[in-house]
Amino acid sequence: MSAWPFARHELLSLRRDRRAWAACACLFVLLVAAFVSSAQMHRAYERTRSAAQVASHRQWLTQGTKNAHSAAHFGEYAFRPLPALAPFEPGLHGVIGTTVYLEAHKENDLRDAPDEDGSRLTYLDGSAAFLARTVLPLLVFLLVAASIAGERERGTLKMLLAQGATLPRIVLGKTLAFGVLLAGLTFGAALVASVVNAAEIVRVAGLAASYLLFALAALFLAMVVSMGARDSRRAVVVLFAFWAVGMVLGPRVAASVAQAVAPMPLRSEAQADLERDLDPAGHEQRTAALRARVLAENGVARVEDLPMDFRGIALQADEERGYGIFDRHRAALRAREARQETVLRGASVLLPWLALDQASTAFAGTDLRHAEHFADAAEAHRRTLVGAMNRYVTTARGKDADASLWETIPAFAYEAPGARFAFGYAWTSLLVLLGWAALPFGAMLHRARRSHEIGEAA
């Protein structure tokens, strides 16, 4: 006797249960609508962003004849491209910031501009992804809670066993039916997502794998609870408690713990710390020391006798000192973020919702690491631009620059990392989700076998 008759029966039951059918259809339509509108939103956003990036560079090119250092202050904007899947899964995109103003002396809008509360959870953002990962387990729990407990309550489980069916087969059959339903839902949505975002098919595959593993984990857990519950109402209560703690309360507590372990400074505090290290009051003294050193190296007594413009050397030295300070502060902030991430990843072992949140934002390209990738590219471009301007000041000896210099600076062109970048670290989240699917699956089979053997199944 295979598990298939039980699976077929469960699928027939689901088909005839209009509430289950309607709930699954609603979720599927929501996901499809989210992906289709995502693609439209992405195209519209990218048109605007590209136009803004072109306009910013045109302003740079047409700023006229002026002092090169003034041009470095004039600067340029770097606009972060919207990841194709961001409208589905906004993650931290937008919370962190999407635009960087590139100018001399300042690493503006540090990509790590702290959130209001320093939390890195994508809470209550109302996105389709958030709804999917919150509603999906609830849907699974409500569908599966009565699967075995309901049979026991009705008395049909006793009948099935008396007929010669075994509990492991019944459980496997039902699990297969729900698994087919969830896989259909996930792959259907992923197919639509792949069609409308053909370039992101690998990221879509990562997303689909994450959500499917999460749904399967919820399914197996629900089966274990349903097997142990006397009736379906008790199973629903237990599973709702799992949902409330595991999907709502637990992640919030984990985020608070992460914030307590590695508190993120407020933006004003971070800025004040940076200003203190930059020490503008010591500028004159540092310049005097540099002047003395440069004069000595060149064997002259006055800056006018130098073969280059000392102002350019001083500006670049000041920039390079700033780079070190900016790098140190950025590294310190990232270290705090890394500690928070470690706490959240650790917590995700207990709270699979967190693992899914991490995997989902990683594959959508809307997490912190993707934001950092952009910020690093923008900062590298700023340093190229400012360095070129300072070199000109050094060599032009007071002569204004014009378009021929501005044209040596390429337009800021950011290439977002590919799917491999996301897989490079999101595999740990996938592994956690796999574990969360495997553990309750094993528990489900073990419990089914044991209950059957000791005659406690009915």
Partner 1 sequence: MPDASSSIAVSVRSLCKRYGDARAVDDLSFEIEAGRILALLGANGAGKSTTVHMLLGLIAPSSGTVEIGGHDVVREVAAVRRAAAYVPDRLALYPHLTGLENLAYFHQVGGGAARSQGDLEAALERVGLERSAFQRRASTYSKGMCQKVGLAIALAKNAKVLLLDEPLSGLDPKAANEFCAKLKEIAQTGTSVLMATHDLFRAHDTADDIGIMRDGKLLKTLRTTDIDAGGLEALYLEQMR
Given the rule CB under 8 A, which residues bind partner 1? 1, 5-6, 9, 12-13, 16-17, 154-156, 158-166, 454-458
User: Which residue lies nearer to partner 1 by CB, 171 or 377?
Assistant: 171
Note whether 367 and 207 are within 8 A (CB).
Answer: no
Note whether 173 and 13 are within 8 A (CB).
Answer: no
From the list 219, 125, 160, the residue with the least C-alpha distance to 438 is: 219
User: Which residue lies nearer to partner 1 by CB, 65 or 156?
Assistant: 156
Q: How far is the CB of 50 from partner 1 (least distance, A)?
A: 55
User: Which residue lies nearer to partner 1 by CB, 3 or 343?
Assistant: 3
Note whether 335 and 115 are within 8 A (CB).
Answer: no
Q: How far is the CB of 11 from partner 1 (least distance, A)?
A: 12
Q: How far is the CB of 223 from partner 1 (least distance, A)?
A: 18
Q: How far is the CB of 267 from partner 1 (least distance, A)?
A: 59
User: Which residue lies nearer to partner 1 by CB, 166 or 384?
Assistant: 166
Q: How far is the CB of 226 from partner 1 (least distance, A)?
A: 17
From CA 432, how far away is CA 434, in angstroms rounded?
Answer: 5
User: Which residue lies nearer to partner 1 by CB, 6 or 211?
Assistant: 6
Note whether 429 and 356 are within 8 A (CB).
Answer: yes
Q: How far is CA 85 from the centre of its chain?
A: 11
User: Which residue lies nearer to partner 1 by CB, 7 or 258?
Assistant: 7
Dihedral sign of CA atoms 49, 51, 53, 55 in order: negative
From CA 295, how far away is CA 420, in angstroms rounded?
Answer: 51
Q: How far is the CB of 165 from partner 1 (least distance, A)?
A: 4
β-strand partners of 99? 79
Note whether 362 and 429 are within 8 A (CB).
Answer: yes
Contacting residues for 18 by C-beta, under 8 A, at least 6 apart: none
- The three-state secondary structure class of 103 is strand
User: Which residue lies nearer to partner 1 by CB, 301 or 454?
Assistant: 454
Q: How far is the CB of 215 from partner 1 (least distance, A)?
A: 24
